[in-house]
Amino acid sequence: MGIELRPLGVACNLACHYCYQNPQRDAGNHRMTYDLDKMKAEALRIGGPFTLFGGEPLLMRFEDLENLFAWGLETSGSSSIQTNGVLIEDRHIDLFRRYKVSVGISIDGPSELNDARWARDSERTRQSTALVESAIERLCREYEPPGLIVTLHKGNATADKLPVMANWMRRLHSLGIRSLRLHLLEVDHASVRETLALTARENVQALLAFAELQNSLPGMYFDLFDEMEALLEGRDQKVGCTWRACDPYTTEAVQGIEGNGQSSNCGRTNKDGVGFIKARVAGYERYLALYRTPQAENGCNGCRFFLMCKGQCPGTSIDGDWRNRTEHCEEWKQLFGTIERRMIQAGKIPLTIQPMRFELEQRLVEAWERGENRSISLTLSEWYKERTGASNGEGAPHAAIGALMQERISWVSESARQKWEERLLKLPGMMEEMTVHVASLLGQQCAVRLIPESSFPRLRELAIMHGLSAGLLPAEVLPQSICIRAPGTVSGVFLAGREESVAQAKAAWESGNLQGFRALLALPACCLLHASQVVTAPIGASEVAVEIPASIAVHTLLAPLGISLLPIEPCTFDCLSALDMAAQWMELAAKRGYSSELAWLRDCFSWPVSWSELHGVTEVKTPLFRMCFQTAPNSRPRMIRRRGIAEEVDGGARGLTFPYLSPAGQPRLVEIGVAQ
Ligand code: SF4
Ligand code: SF4
């Protein structure tokens, strides 16, 4: 786990063509102010040393840099900085030395091979590169060699450029550089793919050339190859985050702290250009989905490298959708295959060809289902212990099964969370109580709602207070009914109404008189009929992409959060009976004193919402948060977008995609690809 302090957000003195932070810049989500005390307080809460990060962290005031590094030395004994190196001066090197700061520099090669790390025009770009090269030499001479990050692309890693790179790396080696991390290009924009992306074959050729080069440079490590061999041996304790089933909602390896002290995730996951804060708990929906989804559908099912690779970094996922595997699959497969062959020739037995691989995979999958992320090495050592009869008592305790939906929400900001989290937690209770209030106006019919067992005593008491009767029937009496509480807690269908109505409804159900039972429920007949048919997702979701009208309050896209006025799916988004029922429901809620809750509900129903399902993982996005959860495995992509009626959602983020506001602050109306 690494703390990344980002005082200036994504602000940078360069404008690298391929920077993975560009979506945030394009969305207008810059921030240039910081509060050192708030950042330190958050860093202390997380604990451990920090890396100063950007954008470009050397844009900070020099006094603040010194303040942070001195604090890092005092609290952790050292700190680090990741910089583009252009701004490094003597006084910075002095700071690094005095406060034990490890330096990481991003550079893609010498002179013109570094041109993709752009600085306004080609002259300034070359000047910047010269400054970085000189800073590297001075650091080696006057302090300690920095670690380097090199991204491979057309500008530095095509066949004609590899010899130049090899010479440069030899020179770096002679200067004392020992740690060099190679990155494959992350493509977030079509123009980057066109101008800079290498083909899979070119990437593999470049990686293999660097692997050969490493053999001739004693002590110099290109982290990648050693990590991949370690993975094939089941030694994954120290491998990088990209091999460790990274959850894009919590990015365990990166604990970002923004200038205002707010938590944030690894920027590689911000495809919408929105810097979401961390969800409360980690989840592994992506890895369960990839394990089960055929490779032809962008999953990893059946791949013998899955145990090691796990679909790799979610920031490099196909189509920018984290539910897909990495777009560099071919490269990793070839590289793993090459290393695997070399290991076998050297008399080693990689995990890929050992029968235990299947069981290890299964154990990782079971752990992800429990909400745990296990290392291969721990799983392997448990497996050996079981085989040798040794105790298996040292495994990590199982995490609670079935994390609440609320805990897989990632908010767009801390202020959005503070404003809305409690409201969303309160709304389901209010909607349950409204079942009783609705029942108090009914004649021969009953009001119903799927509820958890724990809510029943409270609701029954409320019913009695209103002179009504209450009952609880099994969930199957109301197929496809919507539970407005977390899954795993559902007990049954709550009925409220006059004593004789509840008794009649119960009797009808118990005698198998389904028609008679349905007739006693205060629900639109058309919707009841629709609900009795098998539906596995919100209506409309059978289409690849649909839009739903803006002005209605009966959609169930927010039902996973506990927000649905109707207890069942409406049969269509514009069902007049359902609309009428929703209008009456709201009118009654106002009369019964739920004015605050009603205002929140009106807000929720005014939001634009996108709902999508891919590989059995559903993601719901609103301008204030995104959330995800597992649904029935279904490889067919499905998408619903609801425009909403809010001109601007208070506290809503700007982003590059629906449902976020455009960078200019305008609602997105037409770019969602389906006719209006
Ligand atoms: S998104 Fe990728 S780079 Fe970022 S922490 Fe996760 S695996 Fe690492
Ligand atoms: S190599 Fe490809 S198919 Fe195999 S696990 Fe990695 S991304 Fe998935």
C-alpha of residue 231 to centroid of ligand 2, in Å: 13
Specify the pLDDT at position 400: 29
Specify the pLDDT at position 62: 97
Specify the pLDDT at position 395: 33
Please enumerate in sequence order all residues whose Cβ is within 8 A of that of 116, keeping only pairs 6 or more positions apart, or say none.
16, 17, 18, 108, 151, 153, 155, 156, 196
Q: Are 107 and 132 in contact (CB under 8 A)?
A: yes
Confidence at 487, pLDDT banded by 50, 70, 90 = low
C-alpha of residue 384 to centroid of ligand 1, in Å: 30
d(CA 384, CA 386): 5
Specify the pLDDT at position 634: 64
Instruction: Report which protein residue has its CA nearest ligand 2's atom 3.
Output: 300
d(CA 56, CA 13): 7
Confidence at 575, pLDDT banded by 50, 70, 90 = confident
DSSP 98-122: HTTEEEEEE--SSGGGGTTS--SSH
Specify the pLDDT at position 171: 97
The pick from 184, 297, 304, 309 for probing ligand 2's pocket by mutation, whose C-beta has the most ligand atoms within 8 angstroms, reads 309
Specify the pLDDT at position 490: 62
Q: Which residue has the higher pLDDT, 618 or 405?
A: 618
Q: Among the listed ranges 260-264, 396-400, 451-455, 651-655, which one has the minimum average pLDDT value?
A: 396-400
Specify the pLDDT at position 645: 78
Specify the pLDDT at position 326: 98
C-alpha of residue 105 to centroid of ligand 2, in Å: 29
The H-or-E segment that residue 230 falls in is helix 223-232
Q: Which residue has the higher pLDDT, 565 or 375?
A: 375
The pick from 250, 287, 313 for probing ligand 1's pocket by mutation, whose C-beta has the most ligand atoms within 8 angstroms, reads 313
Q: Among the listed ranges 416-420, 475-479, 535-539, 596-600, which one has the minimum average pLDDT value?
A: 535-539
Specify the pLDDT at position 635: 58
Instruction: Report which protein residue has its CA nearest ligand 2's atom 5.
Output: 306
Compute the mean pLDDT over every residue in the chain, rounded to the nearest whole number: 89
Does the pLDDT at position 506 exceed 80? yes
Q: Closest ligand to 311 CA?
A: 2
Decide whether any atom of ligand 1 lies within 6 Å of the 269 Cβ.
yes
Q: Which residue has the higher pLDDT, 506 or 31?
A: 506
Specify the pLDDT at position 1: 64
The residue-averaged pLDDT of 532-561 equals 63
| Residue 605 half-sphere exposure toward CB, CA atoms < 13 A | 22
**Amino acid letter, 350:** P
Specify the pLDDT at position 676: 28
Specify the pLDDT at position 393: 34
Q: Are 409 and 263 in contact (CB under 8 A)?
A: no
Specify the pLDDT at position 594: 96
Closest by CA position to 210, among listed 244, 268, 257, 170: 170
Share of the chain above pLDDT 90, in %: 69
d(CA 253, CA 285): 17
Decide whether any atom of ligand 2 lies within 6 Å of the 326 Cβ.
yes
Specify the pLDDT at position 33: 87
Decide whether any atom of ligand 2 lies within 6 Å of the 329 Cβ.
yes
The residue-averaged pLDDT of 513-517 equals 90
Does the pLDDT at position 14 exceed 90? yes
Q: Which residue has the higher pLDDT, 117 or 1?
A: 117
The pick from 20, 266, 325 for probing ligand 1's pocket by mutation, whose C-beta has the most ligand atoms within 8 angstroms, reads 266
C-alpha of residue 315 to centroid of ligand 1, in Å: 6
**Amino acid letter, 581:** M
Specify the pLDDT at position 114: 97
The residue-averaged pLDDT of 399-425 equals 76
The residue-averaged pLDDT of 71-88 equals 97
Closest by CA position to 562, among listed 486, 481, 459: 486
What atom of ligand 2 comes closest to residue 310's alpha carbon? 5
C-alpha of residue 512 to centroid of ligand 1, in Å: 54
C-alpha of residue 267 to centroid of ligand 1, in Å: 8
Confidence at 550, pLDDT banded by 50, 70, 90 = low
Share of the chain above pLDDT 70, in %: 91
Decide whether any atom of ligand 2 lies within 6 Å of the 295 Cβ.
yes
Specify the pLDDT at position 391: 37
C-alpha of residue 242 to centroid of ligand 1, in Å: 5
The residue-averaged pLDDT of 480-503 equals 81
Q: Are 12 and 84 in contact (CB under 8 A)?
A: yes
Specify the pLDDT at position 385: 79
Does the pLDDT at position 633 exceed 80? no
Q: Are 50 and 76 in contact (CB under 8 A)?
A: yes
Does the pLDDT at position 443 exceed 90? no
Q: Which domains does the chain have, with CATH numbers?
A: 2-283 (3.20.20.70), 284-388 (no CATH), 408-543+554-594 (no CATH)
Decide whether any atom of ligand 1 lies within 6 Å of the 253 Cβ.
yes
Using DSSP's 3-state secondary structure scheme, residue 148 falls into strand
Decide whether any atom of ligand 1 lies within 6 Å of the 412 Cβ.
no
Q: Closest ligand to 326 CA?
A: 2
φ, ψ (nearest 5 deg) of residue 502: -65, -40
C-alpha of residue 332 to centroid of ligand 2, in Å: 7
